[in-house]
């Protein structure tokens, strides 16, 4: 299923160590596109260029404090994910809560890093997340799956299913989508793949595939979306690294 991406990753790995400044520039561009797109999917109205200047410490007139914080917080969450990978840490509920805490820092501190205590619905989706009392048990089950069945899967499939399962539980009041996409990339990057960007322009297919996975158990469409984005990210590196 992943033959093409595996071959591209093998080619990229054969070129390591990669040129320092090329990698640095690709990383900075990915951080920008990742932050812009993940926030745009959730309704943030900052453009790509506006997101860039906010990351540089400049305030954009006419935009809310929340929109500015969503950019800064997401960058900080990416840096935290990179630290997890650098330190070769195992995924845990504690890590997930820390990622979420960074996402909502200064936006909703009362719920930052805390599982929800209220029932919610996912706008536009048929799937209904579990009641609050079941969240702790289901999150423990997710970590258990990851440490057992998940480890045996191809890294792309494992990352995609981790994302699907986390969103299905929807453990937080807000920020689940951003946290899920950070977990997706955490898992990919741990396995040596470049980070992927789920683009705002593809959000309909993204949401449709997620809801299909939650309501029918058929995860293939979503895994294919992730595989396509991994392929795209590998192409970016291979294009600039000769």
The domains of the chain are located at 3-240
Has residue 242 got a pLDDT over 80?
no
Average pLDDT over residues 141-152: 97
* pLDDT the model gives residue 124: 86
Has residue 83 got a pLDDT over 90?
yes
Q: How many helices (H) and strands (E) does the chain have?
A: 10, 0
The architecture of the domain spanning 3-240 is: Orthogonal Bundle (1.10)
Share of the chain above pLDDT 70, in %: 100
Confirm if 153 and 161 have CB atoms less than 8 A apart.
Answer: yes
Average pLDDT over residues 77-90: 96
pTM (whole model) above 0.95: yes
Residues 176-206 have pLDDT tens digits of 999 999 999 999 999 999 999 999 999 999 9
* pLDDT the model gives residue 61: 97
The catalytic residue among 68, 74, 100, 170 is 170
Q: Chain-wide mean pLDDT for the chain?
A: 97
Has residue 225 got a pLDDT over 80?
yes
Residues 16-68 have pLDDT tens digits of 999 999 999 999 999 999 999 999 999 999 999 999 999 999 999 999 999 99
**Residue 170 bears catalytic tag:** yes
Residues 229-241 have pLDDT tens digits of 999 999 999 999 8
* pLDDT the model gives residue 227: 98
Query: Residue 137 class from Cβ within 10 Å (0-12 exposed, 13-18 middle, 19+ buried)?
Result: exposed
């Amino acid at each position: 299923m992943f033959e093409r991406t595996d071959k591209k990753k093998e080619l990229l790995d054969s070129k390591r160590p990669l040129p320092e400044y090329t990698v640095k520039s690709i990383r900075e561009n990915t951080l920008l596109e990742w932050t812009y797109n993940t926030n745009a999917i959730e309704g943030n109205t900052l453009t790509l260029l506006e997101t860039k200047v906010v990351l540089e410490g400049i305030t954009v007139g006419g935009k809310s404090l929340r929109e500015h914080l969503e950019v800064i917080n997401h960058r900080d969450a990416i840096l935290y994910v990179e630290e997890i990978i650098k330190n070769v840490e195992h995924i845990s509920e504690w890590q997930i809560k820390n990622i979420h805490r960074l996402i909502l820092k200064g936006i909703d501190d009362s719920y930052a890093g805390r599982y929800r205590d209220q029932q919610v619905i996912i706008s536009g989706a048929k799937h209904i997340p579990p009641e609050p009392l079941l969240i702790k048990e289901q999150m423990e089950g997710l970590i258990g799956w990851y440490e057992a069945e998940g480890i045996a899967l191809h890294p792309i499939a494992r990352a995609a299913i981790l994302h699907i399962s986390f969103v299905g539980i929807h453990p937080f009041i807000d920020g689940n989508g951003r946290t899920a996409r950070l977990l997706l990339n955490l898992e990919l990057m741990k396995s040596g793949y470049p980070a992927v960007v789920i683009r705002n322009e593809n959000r309909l297919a993204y949401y449709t595939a997620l809801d299909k996975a939650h309501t029918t158990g058929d995860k293939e469409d979503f895994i294919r979306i992730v595989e396509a984005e991994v392929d795209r990210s590998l192409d970016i590196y291979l294009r600039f690294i000769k």
